[in-house]
Structure 1
Amino acid sequence: MIVFFSIVIVILLLVIFYQYKGKLQRNKELRYIYKKLDAIMKNKTNEKVLVFTADGELISFLIQINNLLEYNQKILAKYSKLEISMRKMLSNISHDLKTPLTVVIGYIETMELHNSFKDEKDKEYILEIKNKTNEVMELINKFFDLAKLEAGDKEVPLTKINMNEILREDILKFYDVITGKGIEVDIEIPEENIYALGNSEAIHRILNNLISNAIKYGSDGKVIGLSLKYDDEFSYVSVWDKGKGINERDKDRVFERMYTLDDSRNKLNQGSGLGLTITKRLVEKLKGEVYLSSVPYEKTTFTFKLKRINF
């Protein structure tokens, strides 16, 4: 009897041991699958998940995972082709429309120069036509710039930039406009010169977009701020206002192409939805990052950071 019970105990122990060993093996395989999937998604590769196992359920699971990966890769490839096609289309349309619009503007300016309009009403009409034509031209130029940025056709050479100097230049350009609207200007630029890896033309364009955006959407807060801060690695430029701000729903989408806030449909606040997209692409070209924080009617801040140069 004792021998029988001993045999039963040994068998149970062996069963428990093999179950425990099998669990360890499955956990190991699942960890490998997780890490492999994570690497595939991050690097956007066309790999499959391969595991040598005798576990039938795990094999079925892997087959379905690889089917999903294959489907996802086809979707990504289709999306990539669509993006390339759209960029080419934007570039071509922008280029094709610029020439006739330039001719139209040229004719209008010639007519103005020769004082072709005697009636004041006619002068008002032609001025309105000119203004609208210039608006369309500006929008087309934005499309063209964005298309070139996204296609990688626009060169943005990086060099050592004095950030203090650029910020002072740009806020001065807007100073009369801002104060003319009765808006207070809060400027924080350190005495010490801060240098960053960047491109002066691109940084001017970024600041122009962010300051214009603050004036257009944040002027009701009656204060607009510009600050330059830094640490050992980066310089940080912030443009802020205390206007109506941006709600949580829109925060992650303001940098998307053609995305405008709901109230921007109001004619007074109308925008193209391209300015912030161009800003983001330019910051990325400078190897930097741009981000937004917003509490409506308290503070809305757009900040971009660039690699600091300490020599």
Structure 2
Amino acid sequence: MRDKQKKHNRIVLTSKEKSELLIEGIVTIILLILLNLAMYMLLIQIVQSSLSIESMISNISTSIYDTFYSPTSYAWKKPIFFLLGIIDLSILYWRLIRRYRQMQQRHIISELHYISNGHYDHRIPFDLNGDSGKLIRSINALVDSTVEAIEEERRIEQSKDELITNVSHDIRTPLTSIIGYLGLIEEKKYSSDEELLKYTHTAYMKARQMKVLVDDLFEYTKVRQSNTPLSIMTFDMQQLIGQVVVDFELEASKKNVTVDFEASPSSLMMEGDTEKLVRVFDNLLSNALKYGVNGKQIIIHSEKIGSEVVITVKNDGKEIPKQSLDLLFDRFYRVEESRSQQTGGTGLGLAIAQSIVTLHNGYIYATSENGWTSFVIHLPLKSTEL
């Protein structure tokens, strides 16, 4: 029955409902005939109210005979019958439509019960006019929004579980080392001061690694909120990027990597949260230095295009596989797990960068081809926060 209804836009009545509708029509017609006859007789008696009871009964019998069997008396009564006929048809139509709409509501309620029993992929298939149609569309829209909310809640719960799992894994590794080395020191299982310093240094570096993870996690949870406040100010984007490049020159020189900045134009005023945007470029340059295997050059290009600034940070290191490009901005994602362990990356840098860019109503994406891996940022020059 339900599969059959899905193929129709109109409600298909069952045989029982059609019988109910037919009986409703017949009963209504009989009642209307009796009502019309009673009204007609009452009208005659009102006109001839001076008659005795015997005369009234005789007059009623004569009137019934004249009404149905006397052709000579029909002509003057024709307008009355015509008017009564129109009234009767209107009442009959009203009662049948009322009953039919009750049946429609019964079908709609049945569909609604079917959905409420857990069939959230089902929708009420009827295409009706008037209030019933509005009701169906509202119910379907409500079911859609409810299903979407349920799915979003599931995704959030799954995301929380994954976050806890990943954080626990990344914290447990350095924490195990810290406990191990401090345990050796506690038990005085070292042969010299040099070995003691080695243990303390290792524990210290692992503790710093944990702090980086906690700081990144805190920053990530902050910028992931859509209502995170921004300290909007007017600044020179080219000057800001230039300062970030200067800060990375020493680290880049240690790895024999050159960092070049190409600004077009030389000065570019825009609006944004400078502290958070610096974090974006810090993360991108850090990633380029850590993961740009065999790379010798990092180029940053910033230019004004229309009402936005387009910034490209690219390096000539090992290319990233195409299947990994769309996953780069997922939290804790690493192209090569072993390499990230060596570099000590948390896997949150790009996720943080994307969230900050999104807060500025911009977007970021990555490409890796022709020997270059590029991260391209689009930011509006004017902030909607002001």
TM range (shorter): 0.5 to 0.7
SS in structure 1 at match of 2:365: strand
For 1:304, the equivalent position in structure 2 comes to 377
The gaps in structure 2 that reach 5 residues or longer are 1-8, 10-122, 130-136, 183-191
Q: Write the letter of the residue equivalent to 2:204.
A: K
| 8 Å CA contact 1:170, 1:207 repeated in 2 | yes
Q: Which residue of structure 1 lines up, in the alignment, with residue 127 of structure 2?
A: 52
Residues in 1 aligned to 2:266 and 2:348: alpha-carbon distance in whole angstroms: 34
Counterpart Cα distance in 2 of 1:267 and 1:86: 22
Cα distance between partner residues in 2 of 1:86 and 1:154: 23
Q: Which runs of 4+ in 1 moved over 3 A?
A: 48-51, 65-72, 83-90, 151-154, 263-267
Higher relative contact order (CA 8 A, sep 6+): 1
Match of 1:76 in 2: 151
Match of 1:15 in 2: none
2:335 is matched with 261
Instruction: Provide closer, same or farther for how the CA distance between residues 267 and 73 of structure 1 changes in structure 2, counting only shifts above 3 A.
Output: closer
Cα gap change, 1:66/1:282 in structure 2, threshold over 3 Å: closer, same or farther? closer
Q: May I ask how many residue pairs the two structures share in their alignment?
A: 235
Is the CA contact (8 Å cut-off) linking 2:264 and 2:304 kept in structure 1? no
1:39 paired residue number: none
In 1, Cα distance between equivalents of 2:163 and 2:344: 26
Q: 3-state DSSP class of the match of 1:240?
A: strand
Q: Secondary structure at the match of 2:264?
A: coil
Residue 347 of structure 2 corresponds to which residue in structure 1?
273
**Correspondence for 1:224 among 280, 285, 298:** 298
| CA drift at 1:69 | 4.2
CA positional deviation for 1:304:
1.1
Which residue of structure 2 lines up, in the alignment, with residue 159 of structure 1? 233
1:79-123 deviations in whole A, cap 9, x for unaligned? 265279669979xx99xx9xxx9xx9xxx9xxxxxxxxx812111
Residue number among 237, 249, 258 corresponding to 2:323 in the alignment: 249
* 1:271-298 CA-partner distances (Å, limit 9, x unpaired): 2111100010111111111111111x61
Instruction: Report SS of the residue matched to 2:292.
Output: helix
Q: Distance in 2 between matches of 1:206 and 1:171?
A: 12
In 2, distance between residues paired with 1:157 and 1:266? 33
Separation (CA, whole Å) in 2 of partners of 1:50 and 1:213: 52
The TM-score with structure 1 as length reference comes to 0.64
Gaps of 5+ in 1: 1-24, 26-47, 55-61, 109-117
Which stretch of structure 1 is more off in the superposition, 267-276 or 125-134?
267-276
Q: What's the Cα RMSD here?
A: 3.7
1:198 and 1:49 mapped to 2: Cα distance? 48
1:113 equivalent in structure 2: none
The offset of 1:221, in angstroms, is: 2.3
State the distance in 2 between where 1:223 and 1:191 align. 22
> Which structure 2 residues correspond to residues 103-182 of structure 1 after superposition, within 5 A?
119-152=193-226, 154-182=228-256
Question: Contact (CA 8 Å) 1:263, 1:269: kept in 2 or not?
Answer: no
Q: Which residue of 1 aligns with 2:278?
A: 204
Give the secondary-structure state (helix, strand or coil) at the position aligned to 1:189.
Answer: strand
1:238-263 Cα deviation digits (max 9, x unpaired)? 11001112111111111011111135
